[in-house]
Every structure is written in C-alpha cells, then in structure tokens.
Amino acid sequence: MEISAQMVKELRESTGAGMMDCKKALVETDGDMDKAVDLLREKGLGKAAKKADRLASEGLVSVEVSADHKIATISEINSETDFVAKNQNFINLVKNTTLHIQTKGISSVEELNSSVINGVKFDEHLKSQIATIGENLVVRRFETIKAGANGVVNGYLHSNGRVGVIIAAA
C-alpha cells in the first residue's frame, strides 16, 4: 500500500511519535492506522525500558494551589537534561501530573503509578511520554498539604522552575 504524507502526518499528530517512526509503523501495518498506533505504543514501551537505567537529575518542580486555598500540591519530576526540562511536552506533563496527584488525593509513587490518567494507567502514560520525549523521566517526589478548618495554603514557584514551596497557615 502507498503511504501518503498525510497518513504519516495524521499518525504523528495522534501519537506524538517521530515522523520516521510513524512511516515505518504504517509500512509494517499496510496503512492500518489502529494497528500502527498499537505498534508505536509497543515500540515506545520498549524504548522506555531501555532508558529506565539512565540518570535523571534535571527537571522541574510544579506547585498547584486549589482555587479555595485549602489544598496545595508540589511535585518534582526529573529528566536527563535541562534541555528537555524546557520542552513544552515535559512542562505539560509536570503540570498535569501535579494536578492529577492533587485531584485524586494520591500520596505515594506506587499509588500514582497504578492510578488512571487520560484513560490509561499512569505508569503506561509516563512510559509513552518517555518514548515521545526521548529521555528517562522520573517522578522523584511530591507532597500535598491541606488547610485546617480556618486555615489556608499557598505556594511559590521560583522563576527557574526548580525551586518551590507550599505552606499552610492556621
């Protein structure tokens, strides 16, 4: 089957995978989009496994405070390089993960990995992000605090995105 540039573009937009990876997947599946998506997902999980032992010591901190100032969450997600920490996909991953932790009331990395985000287990979601971004990514740590009955919480994130704090006042 002839693989058009439009087909490659469509697959790339829906998966976030590289252009050549999309073309190869479409060739292998004779142009079947659903099978190509599945193939890319399988290859992505393999790529993520290969990157798992690489050191992730750069990254970003995210602070989310609820609109009523009763719950605040801070998280640190690491990447291998500071270059990736400036990537919009990574920035969105960090922000969305922090919001997910806060809204689901997650308190441990194990609980996070088994939770569901965007219809898939978080562990699988993170592996797909590793495959898309191309570096090992690690949820290093996170914490959520809640205000007492008459208290409030707030947070601060430094402009470099690497230093943050959350605080509760009674």
Domain that holds residue 141: 58-169
CATH label of the domain that carries residue 16: 1.10.8.10
Question: Looking at residue 47, what is its pLDDT?
Answer: 54
Same domain? For 29 and 11 the reply is yes
Question: Looking at residue 48, what is its pLDDT?
Answer: 46
Question: Looking at residue 46, what is its pLDDT?
Answer: 47
- Residue 137, pLDDT > 80, answer yes
Burial class (CB in 10 A: 0-12, 13-18, 19+), 149: exposed
- Residue 51, pLDDT > 50, answer yes
pLDDT digits (tens, 9 = 90+) for 53-93: 656 668 999 999 999 999 999 999 998 888 888 889 899 99
Same domain? For 122 and 155 the reply is yes
Question: Looking at residue 69, what is its pLDDT?
Answer: 96
pTM of the model: 0.70
Q: If you average pLDDT over residues 147-157, what whole number do you get?
A: 95
Same domain? For 90 and 159 the reply is yes
CATH label of the domain that carries residue 106: 3.30.479.20
Same domain? For 100 and 159 the reply is yes
pLDDT digits (tens, 9 = 90+) for 97-124: 999 999 999 999 999 999 999 899 999 8
As a whole number, the mean pLDDT across the chain is 86
Same domain? For 33 and 17 the reply is yes
118 φψ region: left (φ > 0), alpha (ψ -120 to 50), beta (else)? left
Same domain? For 115 and 83 the reply is yes
Burial class (CB in 10 A: 0-12, 13-18, 19+), 112: buried
Q: What percent of the chain has pLDDT over 70?
A: 89
Residue that wins the pLDDT comparison between 32 and 154: 154
- Residue 50, pLDDT > 80, answer no
Same domain? For 32 and 79 the reply is no
3-state SS class at 53: coil
Same domain? For 34 and 82 the reply is no
Return the DSSP state at 84.
Answer: H
